[in-house]
């Protein structure tokens, strides 16, 4: 490479990093608008000027004004009267943007991504120490922002898509439709997957298991509010503590196995807990079959989660295998076979964001 080519490559990369900085500021500004209720107020009552927005949300007018201008410059908000005095300009949140930023029932709801960014930022010092010395940063340490973000991102997908997705796989649907079927939801988080299972299969009883106490509390509240608490119970216990007597007709691990420090032990416990004629399904990220440096958007997103969230969470447990978010199918198959299963089988479920459903074969 010539000197001129090196300089051009350096300039191109510098512009790439600057673009990344702009995107980072944008995501953090979304966190501010989300947590302060500014987006919701604009969606419900816009157009608004800065003094009115600040008054209705109990916030400071000068900060509100600067944020409104920033949001307009970034293309998130529209401004009605550009030439008006700064405090008199009125801003609106376009309907499509409101759908993505304020509607928790929408499959396009992305505001929680800002909460993930904030949660990671708050833990950068402990993350750096873990990178230097080993160990990790546990999920509980990421706090409310991360828990809420994970739950809120998963909620619409589980409640709107999970039942139909499972019903489309005949053998799985038959097991879940058994009268009085017992289903284990391992790593149940905020409980939306358990609630979706209960709604889709009214005769089933769902039991969720999670090691995060705050998530279990939230899951119980969500089940009560959804009116399914009589058939959905949540336990604050590690997956390794599942009953070992074939008590369950089916077991699921939704986007959680890669976080677990001892996935083989978890799968072995699940195999013992599920009846021989039952079903075990793992839903995890639909990453590529093998590493390649030109990964697509899914690979880039999942590696981001991995280096800041999932791998540090897993490595916070001494002796962890440290899977990370990017769990290839070959890795899952290795875990399954070591746990006593004969293999894995990818299920024909499409249209479920960037996830893959895999059946573990006895």
Domain ranges of the chain: 3-102, 121-361
- Please state, rounded to an integer, the average pLDDT across all residues of the chain: 95
Residue 276, C-beta contacts closer than 8 angstroms, at least 6 positions apart: 246, 362
What topology is assigned to 121-361 in CATH? Rossmann fold (3.40.50)
- Record the pTM: 0.93
Distance separating the N- and C-terminal Cα atoms of the chain: 55
> How large a percentage of the chain has pLDDT more than 70?
100
User: Which pLDDT does position 360 carry in this prediction?
Assistant: 98
Number of other residues whose CB lies within 10 A of the CB of residue 293: 5
Question: Where does the chain have alpha helices with state H?
Answer: 3-35, 38-45, 50-57, 61-73, 95-102, 112-122, 124-133, 139-157, 163-167, 170-176, 192-200, 213-226, 263-273, 297-305, 311-315, 329-338
Span 18-42, mean pLDDT? 97
Q: Output the CATH code of domain 3-102.
A: 1.10.10.10
Tokens found for residue 20: 């990344």
3-102 and 121-361: identical CATH topology:
no
- Reply yes or no on whether the pLDDT at 245 is more than 90: no
Instruction: Say what the pLDDT of residue 163 is.
Output: 96
């Amino acid at each position: 490479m010539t000197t001129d080519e090196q300089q051009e490559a350096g300039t191109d990369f510098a512009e790439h990093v600057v673009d990344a900085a702009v995107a980072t500021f944008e995501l953090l500004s979304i966190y501010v608008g989300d947590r302060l209720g500014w987006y919701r107020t604009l969606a419900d009552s816009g157009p608004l000027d800065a003094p009115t927005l600040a008054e209705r949300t109990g916030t400071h007018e000068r900060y509100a004004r600067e944020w409104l201008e920033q949001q307009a410059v970034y293309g998130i908000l529209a401004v009605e009267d550009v030439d008006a005095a700064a405090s008199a300009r009125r801003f609106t949140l376009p309907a499509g943007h409101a759908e993505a930023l304020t509607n928790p029932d929408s499959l396009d709801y992305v505001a929680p991504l800002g909460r993930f960014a904030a949660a990671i930022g708050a833990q950068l010092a402990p993350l750096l120490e873990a990178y230097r010395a080993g160990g990790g940063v546990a999920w509980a340490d990421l706090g409310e922002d991360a828990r809420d973000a994970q739950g809120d991102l998963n909620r619409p997908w589980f409640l709107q898509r999970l039942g139909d997705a499972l019903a489309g796989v005949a053998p799985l649907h038959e097991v879940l439709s058994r009268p009085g079927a017992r289903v284990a939801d391992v790593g149940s988080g905020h409980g939306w997957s358990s609630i979706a299972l209960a709604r889709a299969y009214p005769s089933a009883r769902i039991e969720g298991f999670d090691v995060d106490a705050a998530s279990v509390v939230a899951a119980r509240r969500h089940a009560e509010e959804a009116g399914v608490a009589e058939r959905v119970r949540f336990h604050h216990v590690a997956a390794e503590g599942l009953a070992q007597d074939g008590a369950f007709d089916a077991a699921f691990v939704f986007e959680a196995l890669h976080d677990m420090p001892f996935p083989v032990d978890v799968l072995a416990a699940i195999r013992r807990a599920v009846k021989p004629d039952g079903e075990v399904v793992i839903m995890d990220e639909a990453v590529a079959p093998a590493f390649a440096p030109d990964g697509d958007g899914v690979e880039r997103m999942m590696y981001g989660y991995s280096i800041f969230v999932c791998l540090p969470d897993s490595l916070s447990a001494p002796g962890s295998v440290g899977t990370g978010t990017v769990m290839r199918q070959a890795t899952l198959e290795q875990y399954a076979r070591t746990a006593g299963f004969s293999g894995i089988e990818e299920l024909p479920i499409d249209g479920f964001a960037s996830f893959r459903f895999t059946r573990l074969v006895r």
